[in-house]
């Protein structure tokens, strides 16, 4: 239950984030026993670069407290979608926090929103979507891979999030999201190899009052096909963005001052007094040696309310009749 709301004390079975350094962050379970490869119960000990940690010792400690290891120390933190993203077991390529924040912003999600996601993958985005829409909203997530869908369902149950999410094992490219979700979603997110095949199904699922759609694609050719399908089906405000996170090093540097005293003297051939070159200190940002790598393109679009869609169809029909 460690993902559903904040609490102070670690309880047995909680998922805990072990923070050692900025590059050494681990996800562990606060359980005294674990099962080995032979199926036997053994003491749950987590090995770190700074020594072993008995997971049973975490039970009863406060989140944020400092723990001692045999060769150093670390901190135990309560899991958040951001920390889960950098520690989760990868079953597929995941979406990271810079893209996730843009997705939630552009989809205009808030508590109470109904969101459809396809595909589920490793559940990185799913946890962030759940946090954005709970306690009254709901996430319907789809994955065509049965094992991945089952694993994601078990993770949501283990994290205490089952009341906010429904996991489905289904190929939405072939059959869509199902009649149960017709006119129910405020937003739809697609992370698929062929998103343009699913876009026609999203029109049935988005509410009659309209909604937002986002498609994540690593290749620009996928973006082109998706945008053509969005235009064909009457989506508006279509835009594609690429989110690149760049970190600048803030440093204090000494810069020389240019001596312009000679400009004040008359041109009589006399030399100005020589002075040592002065310097001043300033704060500046140093760009990184290399730019961040490409992750993918985010395409956003708005489906207008149904009355606006019907009006546009009527106007288009009038134009056709006038031409005839």
Residue 285 labeled ligand binder: no
Report how far residue 298's alpha carbon sits from residue 214's, in angstroms, rounded to the nearest whole number.
7
Residue 124 labeled ligand binder: yes
Residue 143 labeled ligand binder: yes
For the chain, how many residues are written?
A: 324
Report how far residue 261's alpha carbon sits from residue 259's, in angstroms, rounded to the nearest whole number.
6
192, 121 contact by CB (below 8 A):
no
Residue 122 labeled ligand binder: yes
3-state secondary structure 100-149: HHHHHHHCCCCCCCEEEEECCCCCHHHHHHHHHHCCCCEEEEEECCHHHH
Residue 254 labeled ligand binder: no
Per the annotation, where are the binding residues for S-adenosyl-L-methionine?
122-125, 143, 171, 191
Per the annotation, where are the binding residues?
122-125, 143, 171, 191
């Amino acid at each position: 239950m460690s993902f559903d709301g904040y609490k102070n004390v670690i309880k047995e079975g909680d998922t805990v984030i072990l923070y050692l350094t900025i590059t050494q962050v681990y996800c562990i379970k606060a359980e005294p026993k674990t099962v080995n490869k032979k199926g036997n119960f053994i003491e749950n000990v987590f090995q770190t670069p700074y020594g072993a940690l008995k997971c049973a010792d975490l039970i009863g400690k406060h989140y944020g407290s400092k723990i001692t290891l045999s060769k150093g120390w670390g901190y135990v933190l309560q899991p958040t979608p951001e920390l889960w993203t950098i520690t989760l077991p990868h079953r597929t390529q995941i979406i990271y926090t810079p893209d996730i924040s843009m997705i939630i912003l552009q989809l205009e999600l808030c508590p109470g929103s109904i969101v459809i996601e396809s595909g589920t993958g490793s559940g990185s985005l799913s946890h962030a979507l759940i946090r954005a829409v709970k306690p009254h909203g709901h996430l319907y997530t789809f994955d065509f891979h049965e094992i991945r869908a089952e694993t994601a369902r078990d993770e949501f149950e283990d994290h205490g999030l089952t009341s906010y999410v429904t996991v489905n094992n289904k190929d939405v490219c072939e059959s869509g999201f199902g009649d149960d979700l017709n006119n129910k979603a405020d937003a739809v997110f697609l992370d698929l190899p062929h998103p343009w095949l699913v876009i026609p199904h999203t029109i049935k699922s988005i509410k009659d009052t309209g909604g937002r759609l986002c498609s994540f694609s690593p290749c620009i050719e996928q973006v082109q096909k998706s945008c053509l399908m969005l235009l064909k089906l009457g989506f508006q405000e279509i835009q594609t963005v690429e989110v690149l996170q760049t970190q600048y090093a803030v440093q204090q540097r000494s810069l020389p001052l240019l001596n312009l005293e000679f400009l004040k003297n008359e041109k009589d051939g006399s030399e100005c007094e020589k002075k040592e070159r002065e310097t001043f200190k300033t704060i500046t940002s140093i760009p990184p040696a290399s730019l961040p790598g490409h992750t993918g393109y985010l395409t956003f679009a708005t489906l207008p309310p149904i009355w606006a869609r019907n009006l546009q169809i009527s106007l288009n029909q009038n134009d056709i009749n006038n031409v005839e």
